[in-house]
């Protein structure tokens, strides 16, 4: 594994860049993936490990602080569609689902598979989530169905097959509402289920939100996670209040709006959204085919009566990637000693087979990418509980 410290990064040319806090590329790890893609980067709750899923159908583990490679979990025979670490009850477990029809659990200490559930013949698994009143339910999007198992016994307890007509791309137990299950699909629908008691399509479907086009990703925002953001496969963005079943904002031409908010190339795609509970702000992360990234804030309704807008980019990452970026892992706090006046902003990975670690730096003589103070990760103080906002 080759690591390049403080890589030369393209200098920003706009005067707007110079008015913002600087951000630079800390490490660039050429992971020897060759032509293989980085699909997703996820972190353990305590930030002692991060997992990187690859187009080789394997998952490699690294230290998010140093970038050191620690091991590999290999066993899937088709594309890995999602990965996530276990929570407090299972901190050493890493879970993954795949188009090979399985959901697997790995022990990150030995890098060995410790459990496997099969969804059935020809049932690709696109997404999964753990929840329920006892946190024992495993929900998975398997083509147009939502399957649920009791993870303790590995027995299937329900199959919701009438709510969606096409592939279920996302399932989420809503944080803080563990009996609420949300699903999103290529059919353009977001379905909300109450999975208390017996589970079936007729009795448990609470609401349906019609986005109108194929849904790629959803996530939650607000103090009680009462709202959700939705990115589609045609790069539109919307924000919904799922409790009220209403749309709060809709950006059908989001790429053009974002492109006008920075002096770089046209935004070609959106990677993800990032919500900060402390700031109560949502950013959409846009990228170019050349590998540049921007964090664009969603501004609330203005006094003039105009609706929400996509604001000027508050963070720009240049020079790290040479192709499409597939995953962004923000790090709003990490444990351990850090260099004075420096904090790790996060990691990115993409189709160039490269992992990049980005560093916020207050040094005025560093002319690299820039970042606003609202997005800068502060070094944790000794004795203070670390906090982070997961993806």
CB 294 within 8 A of CB 313: yes
CB 79 within 8 A of CB 57: yes
Q: How confident is the model at residue 263 (pLDDT cuts 50, 70, 90)?
A: confident
- pLDDT value at 58 more than 60: yes
pLDDT number for residue 298: 94
- pLDDT value at 177 more than 70: yes
Q: How confident is the model at residue 361 (pLDDT cuts 50, 70, 90)?
A: low
Alpha carbons 255 and 306: distance in angstroms, whole number: 19
- pLDDT value at 119 more than 90: yes
pLDDT number for residue 261: 87
Q: How confident is the model at residue 338 (pLDDT cuts 50, 70, 90)?
A: very low
Residue 141: CB atoms within 10 Å? 29
CB 76 within 8 A of CB 53: no
CB 343 within 8 A of CB 379: yes
Structure tokens at 170: 């996302």
Among 130-144, 221-235, 296-310, the minimum mean pLDDT is found in 296-310
Q: How confident is the model at residue 4 (pLDDT cuts 50, 70, 90)?
A: very low
pLDDT number for residue 355: 87
pLDDT number for residue 391: 26
pLDDT number for residue 368: 44
State whether residue 204 is helix, strand or coil.
Answer: helix
- pLDDT value at 362 more than 70: no
Among 78-87, 201-210, 340-349, the minimum mean pLDDT is found in 340-349
The share of the chain scoring above pLDDT 90, in percent, equals: 60
pLDDT number for residue 337: 35
The share of the chain scoring above pLDDT 70, in percent, equals: 79
137 pairs with which residues across the strands? 131, 150
Mean pLDDT of the chain: 82
Q: How confident is the model at residue 16 (pLDDT cuts 50, 70, 90)?
A: very low
- pLDDT value at 168 more than 50: yes
Q: How confident is the model at residue 237 (pLDDT cuts 50, 70, 90)?
A: very high
- pLDDT value at 66 more than 90: no
Length of the chain as a residue count = 391
Structure tokens at 278: 């402390």
Cα angle, residue 257 at apex, residues 302 and 182 outer, rounded to 5°:
80
**pTM of the complete model:** 0.84
pLDDT number for residue 320: 86
- pLDDT value at 172 more than 50: yes
> With left for phi above 0 and alpha for psi between -120 and 50, is residue 289 left, alpha or beta?
alpha
pLDDT number for residue 302: 58
Give the mean pLDDT of 50-57: 95
More confident residue, 282 or 36: 282
**Dihedrals phi, psi of 373, to nearest 5 degrees:** -65, -25
pLDDT number for residue 371: 58
Structure tokens at 211: 């986005």
Pairing, β 112-118 against β 102-107: antiparallel
Cα angle, residue 329 at apex, residues 147 and 301 outer, rounded to 5°:
90
- pLDDT value at 28 more than 70: no
More confident residue, 338 or 96: 96
Model confidence pLDDT, tens digit, residues 134-143? 888 999 999 9
Give the mean pLDDT of 368-391: 39
Give the mean pLDDT of 121-132: 94
């Amino acid at each position: 594994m080759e690591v390049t410290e403080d890589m030369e990064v393209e200098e920003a040319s706009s005067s707007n860049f110079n008015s913002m806090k600087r951000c630079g590329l800390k490490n660039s790890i050429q992971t020897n993936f060759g032509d293989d893609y980085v699909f997703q980067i996820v972190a353990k709750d305590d930030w002692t490990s991060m997992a990187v899923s690859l187009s080789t159908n394997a998952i490699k583990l690294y230290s998010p602080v140093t970038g050191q490679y620690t091991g590999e979990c290999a066993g899937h025979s088709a594309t890995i569609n999602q990965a996530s670490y276990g929570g407090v009850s299972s901190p050493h477990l890493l879970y993954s689902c795949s188009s090979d029809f399985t959901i697997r659990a790995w022990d990150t200490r030995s890098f060995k598979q410790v459990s496997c559930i099969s969804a059935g013949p020809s049932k690709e698994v696109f997404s999964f989530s753990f929840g329920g009143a006892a946190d024992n339910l495993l929900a998975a999007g398997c083509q147009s169905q939502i399957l649920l198992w009791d993870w303790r016994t590995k027995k299937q307890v329900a199959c919701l097959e009438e709510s969606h007509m096409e592939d279920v791309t996302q399932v989420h137990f809503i944080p803080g509402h563990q009996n609420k299950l949300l699903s999103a699909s290529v059919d353009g629908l977001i379905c909300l289920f109450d999975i208390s008691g017996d589970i079936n399509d007729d009795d448990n479907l609470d609401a349906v939100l019609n986005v109108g086009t194929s849904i790629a990703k959803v996530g939650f925002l607000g103090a009680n996670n009462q709202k959700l953001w939705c990115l589609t496969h045609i790069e539109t963005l919307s924000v919904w209040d799922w409790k009220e079943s209403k749309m709060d904002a809709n950006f059908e031409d989001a790429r053009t709006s974002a492109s006008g908010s920075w002096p770089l190339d046209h935004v070609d795609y959106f990677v993800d959204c990032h919500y900060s509970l402390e700031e109560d702000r949502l950013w959409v992360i846009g990228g170019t085919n050349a590998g540049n990234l921007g964090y664009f804030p969603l501004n609330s309704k203005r006094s003039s009566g105009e609706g929400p807008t996509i604001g000027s980019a508050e963070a720009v990452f240049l020079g790290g990637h040479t192709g499409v970026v597939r995953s962004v892992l923000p790090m709003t706090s990490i444990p351990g000693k850090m260099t004075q006046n420096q904090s790790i902003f996060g990691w990115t990975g993409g189709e160039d087979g490269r992992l990049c670690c980005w560093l916020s730096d207050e040094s005025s003589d560093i002319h690299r990418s820039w970042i606003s103070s609202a997005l800068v990760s502060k070094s944790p103080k000794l004795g203070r509980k670390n906090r982070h906002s997961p993806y």
